[in-house]
A = this chain, B = another copy of it.
Amino acid sequence: GAGADNDLYINQAIVFIEDAIQYRSINHRVDSKSLWLYRWYYSRTCQWILSLTITIILALAFIEEPSSLTVTSDVRYRRPAWNPPCGLTESIELLCFLVFMVDVSVKSYLIGWKEFWKNKWLMAYILTLIVSLADWIVSLSFFCKESVRIRRILRPFFLLQNSSMMKKTLKSINSTLPEMASVVLLLAVHLSLFTMFAMLLFARTKDNQQDKEWVVYFRNLPDSLTSLLVLLTTANNPDVMIPAYSKNRAYSIFFILFTVLGNLFLMNLLTAIIYNQFRGYLLKSVQSSLFRRRLGIRAAFEVLSSLKETPASAQQSCVSVGALLQVLQKAEMDSRCKQAIMRSLKMCSCDQLSAAQFQKLFEELDKDAIKQHPSSPEYQSRFMQKMQFAFGHPYFGYLGNVVALANIISICVVLVMDADKQPSERDDFFLGAINCFFILYYLLEMLLKILAMGLKRYLSYPSNRFDGLLTIILLILEIATFAVYGFPHPGWRPEFMGLLSLWDMVRLVNMLIVFRFLRIIPNMKFMALVVTTLLDLVKNLRAFAGILLVVFYAFAITGIMLFKGAVVPLGNTRYIGNNPNAFVFSLWVNNFFIIFQGKKVISWCFAHFQAEVICCLLYVLSVHLICRWAKIYFVAWWLISSVIWVNLFVALLLENFIHKWDRRCQRESLSDIEYQRTVELMFRDVLEEPTEEELMEKLHQHPHLQLCR
């Protein structure tokens, strides 16, 4: 009937508008039941369950068998980690797999059979699930004693396929790969030519005293290659050239040439290429998001315009305001946007909306959220007004900053004085007394500010929230200290009591005070700019961080599998105690979860490979083969984590910062208003609006929606 049809159209419009808001594709089934399923699938609960499942399956690695999640990382001291009984993690895994199976079947059903065959991500998803399940069955049939678990390496895929932003970013990275490969090829040519030069230059001579360089760094082809590769990471920079240089200064020319060409030119060229290429692709992906939004809104318009109640007389199709209101009320969207759209709908006097008007209404979605602070309370008494003026004035805030600085300086002075003292000689009285005074001042400042600004206005500023929270924590800590240890007095050095010693309490208070000092940031213009850039960057970086996590997880699991048991404490620390390098290597081998700490770590690992300390250790343990694998593993990790990822990061930072900087100059006057920036908004001024023809063409290609006209 017409009523059922109308209901369907309204439901379609709701879903399309929700798609537009979330930048989702509209290419899904549009019959009533599928729409219900679609809305259920994209409801918060469902998505939350899915995210939780992904988190759980990723977190399993921390408690599974070859994990090393213990407090200390020292193989000599640490206790064996808890091993879950066979079947526990496996049953959790099975539950996760069930959720994923539901997920993939709903997704496949919703996009329809035809689209399914085109969607490589879904196919890969199903394949991953099949392989994982097979591996799971194998695992159970071996009673969890099997050595290789392929499904653990596949796990990050579940994270990857669930985020459209990550898939987009991956696509962008994928497009820059040919260019990157060219530079990496150049690097390889550079490396191999210089390796040959080095082998010719530092050949073995008759005088054993003279060929230290050959013995240590250029003994054979793999050694020479590794030496120069490590030089490219700058880890062994002066060391590698010292023997040759001490023989003849002219040898340094070789190393300088290699470093300048490799590090200064080629490595930075990689940055330039990634910046140049990636800039375009990020813009493109944002452009396609915009297209999806416009398309969703247009689709909603088209289905609403085919409602039976609309007069068919008009040549131009249009939508009644009533129908739109109905849709808006049912659609899930940000309440601010909803209200703004409702408001403009009411202000618009017309009864019918054209496509352009319809599109214009939803432009509210693209706008920055402008934050307005509630107003201060208005006091009647003159005294209160004066108080309000005094304590609401920026100078009062500056005074607070000065006091915080004074506190920091006093802590610093005490630290410097106490630096060399034995813990038993330390007198905590002075620090206790001044901290008590300062914390009282902070409390007073907070109360006076609340008085002047009113609680609501006070809390509407992030810096005040930060300040207030820390002040309250400090107050609680201080009260707890006094309750347990009494008031400070000269020679105040009580014994350990309760959960924390007094010294730990004082340290904690001091750290919080240092942390609280960050409240000065909004008062310094350049600092505020930098911090907001960084915060934006963190927002925009989520997709990157996700991909890094995926790569990292795969590497960590591979590393654990490759090096499991490669380093064991050799009884009375014969190798490990004397050998900090081997000891540190054991750190890295046993836990790959904290490996990411800048490029140096990995090159450091290289450098110590070079010194053959670890290889020797591995020889001792008769796992000689591992040494070569480890090299390949580390080279791969270095290339991905430090070379590619760091450069991507630099590219994104450059992009973000330059945009922000240009904008700052334009909007100098509007600096009071806080904008919430996303990667979409950053590019808004360069984005192109899709034309009507493009939208309609795309709509007519929709696999499930049959438009009347």
Residues of B within 8 A of A247 (CB): 72
Binds B, one of A33-41, A372-380, A438-446, A653-661: A653-661
- Whether B412 contacts A206 by the Cβ 8 Å rule is no
Determine whether the beta carbon of B650 is less than 8 Å from that of A597: no
**Cβ of A334 under 8 Å from chain B:** no
A264's closest neighbor in chain B, by CB? Answer: B649
In the complex, chain B residues whose CB is within 8 Å of the CB of A534: 265, 269
- Total interface residues in chain A, CB < 8 Å: 96
Which of chain B's residues have a CB closer than 8 A to the CB of A587? Answer: 242, 245-246
Complex Cα gap A308–B37 (Å): 94
Check if A197 is an interface residue, CB within 8 A of chain B: yes
A305 an interface residue at 8 Å Cβ cutoff?
Answer: no
Q: Is the CB of A248 within 8 A of B71?
A: yes
Q: State whether the Cβ of A332 lies closer than 8 Å to any Cβ in chain B.
A: no
Knowing A423-B204, A657-B272, A657-B276 are in contact, say whether A249-B598 is a contact too (CB < 8 A).
Answer: no
Q: Which residues of B contact A415 (CB under 8 A)?
A: 196, 199-200, 221
Residue of B nearest to A193 (CB): B514
Q: How many copies does the complex hold?
A: 2
Among listed A255-263, A314-322, A391-399, A459-467, interface-contacting one: A255-263
Cβ–Cβ < 8 Å partners of A259 in chain B? 597-598
Tell me the bound Cα distance from A418 to B220 in angstroms: 9
Task: Say whether A705 faces chain B, with CB atoms less than 8 Å apart.
Answer: no
Residues of B contacting A242 with CB < 8 Å? 580, 583-584, 587
Complex-state Cα separation, A375 to B209, whole angstroms: 58
Contact B238 A601, beta carbon cutoff 8 Å: yes
Residues of B within 8 A of A526 (CB): 182, 186
How near does chain B come to A196, taking the closest CB pair, in angstroms?
Answer: 5
**Residues in chain B near residue A183, CB distance under 8 A:** 530
Are B221 and A272 within 8 A (Cβ)? no
| 25 A-B contact pairs sorted by A residue (CB < 8 Å) | A70-B249, A72-B248, A73-B245, A73-B246, A182-B527, A193-B514, A196-B415, A196-B514, A200-B511, A201-B511, A204-B422, A220-B420, A221-B419, A234-B598, A235-B600, A242-B583, A245-B587, A252-B597, A263-B598, A269-B653, A272-B658, A273-B661, A275-B658, A276-B658, A654-B654
A-B contact sample (6 more), CB < 8 A, given A200-B510, A201-B507, A242-B587:
A71-B249, A72-B247, A186-B526, A235-B600, A263-B598, A269-B534
